Amino acid sequence: MADTETHRETESGARPHGADGAGRTPGPAPRTFRAALAELSAAQKTPKGVSYYTRYVNRRLGRVLAAAACRAGLTPHQVTVLSALCTYGGIAAVALVRPSWALAPAVWAALVLGFALDSADGQLARLRRASSVSGEWLDHVVDCGKMTLLHAAVLISFYRFFDLPGEGWLLVPLAFQLAAVVTFCGGLLTEKLKPRPAAGAAGQQPVRPSRVRAVALLPVDYGVTCAVFLLLGNETAFRTGYAALCAVHVLFCLAFLAKWYRELSVPPAPAP
């Protein structure tokens, strides 16, 4: 989505990868890891509308992983599958293993690596000059499953392992899940339905990314959500941090929905 990086590397909601939709084969890849890394560094997406974590941490990790995947001969689809295995493995651990200080870094590392690989598949596609709607579809399916299962796993962990002060705490993962999924779907639909400006239209000058916005988006960045699992060793600390992030996500969800509705309510400009 254009306004937040809570779930995925791209802000447009479209990161096609794989075989070219027109049937063309992927272009030649750089011969060395260093050459691949240099080419990726020169072809990064705009920092507009993303938090500092996504810009300076996740994209850079994804860049290194994409260059390594290129040298290993992996396809973007295969990198997407690796991302899903890492992420879903961490999610399964949350649901099945009793929280502890040993589990916390393992879950965090699995989620962070999955997130970085989620960035790497799109960067690898750009490096190989390949794209496909099937790649975009696969990426969105994995992302949607990730958001749904992550908070479901927290709900299961709360029920199985936590000494909750009240049953109302079981509603927190459900609220977090609702905010995450609605924001994800709302952003995708807005991007698909919003009229595109004509190529070369007047007033479409590059806009310098806002530092305030990049900081304000940090609480709803998926990387920060991953970080809260570092608190799994202490029930109170984890519940407090998770509930705080949930509240922020709900507020941002409402703000984004209002913004997107206003944008889509503006009638399109008449054709010249």
pLDDT digits (tens, 9 = 90+) for 12-43: 333 445 444 333 445 555 568 877 777 776 66
pLDDT at 3: 38
pLDDT at 37: 76
Range with top average pLDDT, 31-45, 202-216, 221-235 = 221-235
pLDDT band at 212 (very low <50, low <70, confident <90, very high): confident
The residue among 8 and 218 whose pLDDT is bigger is 218
In this structure, of 97-101, 132-136, 261-265, the range with the lowest mean pLDDT score is: 132-136
pLDDT at 152: 98
What percentage of the chain reaches a pLDDT higher than 70?
A: 78
Compute the distance between CA of residue 158 and CA of residue 149 in angstroms, rounded to an integer.
14
Q: Residue range 220-225: average pLDDT?
A: 92
The residue among 195 and 188 whose pLDDT is bigger is 188
Q: Residue range 182-190: average pLDDT?
A: 93
pLDDT at 31: 62
The domains found in the chain, sorted by start residue, are 33-194+210-265 (1.20.120.1760)
Q: If we measure between CA atoms, which residue out of 169, 151, 167 comes closest to residue 95?
A: 151
Helix (H, G, I), strand (E, B) or coil at 200: coil
Task: Say if residue 14 is exposed, middle or buried (CB neighbours under 10 Å; 0-12, 13-18, 19+).
Answer: middle
DSSP state of 24: P
| pLDDT per position as a tens digit, 47-88 | 566 777 887 888 889 899 988 988 888 999 999 999 999 999
pLDDT at 268: 66
Q: Residue range 177-190: average pLDDT?
A: 94
| pLDDT per position as a tens digit, 5-14 | 343 333 333 3
**Contact in structure between 223 and 57 (CB atoms under 8 Å):** yes
Task: Say if residue 147 is exposed, middle or buried (CB neighbours under 10 Å; 0-12, 13-18, 19+).
Answer: buried
Q: Residue range 227-234: average pLDDT?
A: 97
The residue among 154 and 57 whose pLDDT is bigger is 154
| pLDDT per position as a tens digit, 113-135 | 999 999 899 888 888 777 678 88
Structure tokens at 193: 């339905």
What percentage of the chain reaches a pLDDT higher than 90?
A: 54
Structure tokens at 129: 């000059």
Q: Residue range 152-161: average pLDDT?
A: 98
pLDDT at 198: 58
The residue among 208 and 252 whose pLDDT is bigger is 252
Compute the distance between CA of residue 269 and CA of residue 262 in angstroms, rounded to an integer.
15
